[in-house]
Structure 1
Amino acid sequence: MTGDPGHAPTPPPVSEGPFVSREEFDALFAAVRTWGRWAAADRGAWNRVTPEHVRRAAALVRSGTVVPMARPWDTAPGPDNSKPALHFMSDLGDVEPPEPATHKDFIAIDYHGKAVSHLDALSHVAYRGQLYDGRAARECVDAGGARFGAVSALGPLATRGVLLDLPTALGVAWLEPGRAVHAEELVAAEQALGVTVGEGDAVLLRFGGLRRRQERGAWDTGAASAGLHVDVMPLLAERGIALLGGDGDSDVRPSPVEGVHSPVHALAVAAMGVPLLDNLDLEALSAASAETGRYTFLLLVAPLNIPGGTGSPVSPVAVL
């Protein structure tokens, strides 16, 4: 199922197989987990990024072009935005203050969802009651926030970003909702785009969902979206990635795994310790990469320093 701008089919209600039993998924979880690998466990796979990784990433900068990847702050409700962001003015400068007058505003968001570009920290996902590194979720996360795996433990990240532009590699406008991307297709995309994912890399996946939304309108992305099949995760674990993200939330929906609604989240965050970037806008980066023929770049991600936070809204940038 690929995108054809000429017509507007309803997103399919099922994802492409093969379907995975809970027992098979548990075996996969055990195979890719990295528990006990790092002393700074709540930084997870970000421990892989060394100063040498940063220097090599900085050497990729040629034109100095900065490409933002955050979606606009979305205050409009819709089928893919059930909890709209808040934005209102708290000071209009209309009371006789001493000069200069000031204008102030208030913003707030329940950002884990389908509309806001955000980072998932390691406290965001538990599988079978356990966070990354085998920590008991009920002992680590309560009404006061997370005491393990908080976003404040991550800090900023600078590393090599790799854009796997799947529609470009496949020669289509976008991947239709429900389309599962498999491991062999990811390898084929590397070959088509002239890149190889390596240790410490941040892998960004363009499925083209945002372009589809712009051309055909919003739909319930929680019910149907293009994304990764779980058979991709051993490949990414072998490559030793530090971060995974995309223009969706990386999971194909509906889930191909029995009883697990977000299996890629479970494998990446809870098993591999890989934070996730969700809901990016990769359209400008796709265009810039196609123009230059380069799909690697310096990636900068700076989450908010929220003690106890399970993640953060972010505005990542690629520097070409």
Structure 2
Amino acid sequence: MAPHAGPAERTRLTAAGFDAQYRRLAARAAWAAGGRGALAALTPARVLAATREVSTGRTVTLAAPVETRAGPDNPEPARHRMNGQPEERASDGLDFAMDRFAMNVHGDADSHIDALCHVIYDGTLHGGVSASSITSSGATALSIEAARDGIVGRGVLLDIPRTRGVAWLEPGDHVTLDDLTAAEAAQHVRVSEGDLLFVRVGHRRRRAELGAWPAARARAGLHPSALDFLADRRVAVLGGDGNNDTAPSSTEGVDFPVHVLAVHAMGLHLLDYLQFEELAPVCEAEGRWSFLCVIAPLRLPDATGSPVNPIAVL
């Protein structure tokens, strides 16, 4: 089993070091500088190839149930209200049950996808688009509408706790580049250009077994150095069962370095707070960690993200 933390990768990044990494990754991702970002890698040929991953037809959700109760990691839970009162409904003839939902899309509990307009860094969005394109009415550029036709491709799950031989990564721990390559070797899979990469840290299992905690202050995630792996492989999407960023941050002056590097520099749509506790056992049982994946964000033309329910098809 490979060591999970090399000394160089554990080192806290200075502001200058982060800036150098940002510039390097942005230059390497110049191919993804358009309005769809790295989704440009999902060519019709790659989508067609991804359909060949299906062998059993089994479908598995990668989303957690939407939560409507407040908790340490969810102070503003989604609100679900029924329209009308059940006792007012007619006892005969036709009637309809109806309800209403409201939610904070970018919270620390519900599964969601970040659009390319979500991250503002040094006054700009991905590709140098001015932050002034975000108005009180919504995003006029790089909104989740870029994914209106869905995101379909070959999904790959890298299970870091499995590789390390633990149930989950503790809050504050980092997934390093070495972790990702070790998981590939252990799982006999290779991440390729255009893949939808999902990285399990075990956040959901820890939460289910130990209870919720203030994840905004302490959570496992990727170390910024791990983004070189994504650049090498030219992945189209990154998703995790946590926030993808570690807390506390490893980077001087930047609280969410992975969000800045992935979304702003590399043009990757991020999926946060997914859950892989149903998918991982299926992959283990079938002896394969790749699958067809279908992601269908809501049609919210001016939104910075969307609740999401990705489906793996094996």
Q: Match for 2:313 among 297, 314, 319?
A: 319
Percent identity of paired positions between Structure 1 and Structure 2: 44
Deviations 1:6-49 (A, max 9, x none): xxxxxxxxxx931000111011011111575357x221000110
Deviations 1:281-317 (A, max 9, x none): 1100011111111100001000011111101001111
Partner SS, residue 248 of structure 1: coil
Partner SS, residue 42 of structure 1: coil
What does residue 139 of structure 2 align with? Answer: 146
Cα distance between partner residues in 1 of 2:142 and 2:92: 45
Q: Match for 1:114 among 99, 108, 111?
A: 108
Verify the 8 A CA contact 1:92 1:103 in the aligned structure 2: no
Task: After TM superposition, give the deviation of residue 96 of structure 1 in Å.
Answer: 3.6
* TM-score of the superposed pair, with normalisation by structure 1: 0.92
* TM-score of the superposed pair, with normalisation by structure 2: 0.93
Verify the 8 A CA contact 1:92 1:102 in the aligned structure 2: no
Q: Match for 2:250 among 239, 242, 256?
A: 256
What does residue 271 of structure 1 align with? Answer: 265
Cα 1:200/1:104, change in 2 over 3 Å: same
What does residue 211 of structure 1 align with? Answer: 205
Cα 1:183/1:38, change in 2 over 3 Å: closer
Task: After TM superposition, give the deviation of residue 92 of structure 1 in Å.
Answer: 4.3
Alignment map for 1:292-303 (pairs within 5 Å): 292-303=286-297
Cα distance between partner residues in 1 of 2:58 and 2:85: 35
Unaligned runs of 5+ in 1: 1-15
What does residue 22 of structure 2 align with? Answer: 29
Cα distance between partner residues in 1 of 2:122 and 2:32: 22
Unaligned runs of 5+ in 2: 1-8
Q: Match for 1:291 among 279, 285, 288?
A: 285
Verify the 8 A CA contact 2:32 2:39 in the aligned structure 1: no
Alignment map for 1:76-95 (pairs within 5 Å): 76-92=69-85, 94-95=88-89
Partner SS, residue 198 of structure 2: strand
Cα distance between partner residues in 2 of 1:71 and 1:100: 34
Aligned length: 303
Deviations 1:176-233 (A, max 9, x none): 1111111111111110111111110010011011111111111111111111001111
Deviations 1:43-96 (A, max 9, x none): 100011011111111100011110011111101111110111000100346344
Task: After TM superposition, give the deviation of residue 98 of structure 1 in Å.
Answer: 7.9
Report the residue type matching 1:311 in the other structure.
Answer: G
What does residue 3 of structure 2 align with? Answer: none
Cα distance between partner residues in 2 of 1:264 and 1:77: 27
Report the residue type matching 1:42 in the other structure.
Answer: G
Segment drifting more, 255-264 vs 26-35? 26-35
What does residue 65 of structure 1 align with? Answer: 58
Which 4+ residue blocks in structure 1 deviate beyond 6 angstroms? none
Task: After TM superposition, give the deviation of residue 252 of structure 1 in Å.
Answer: 1.1
Q: CA RMSD, aligned part only? A: 1.5
Partner SS, residue 107 of structure 1: strand
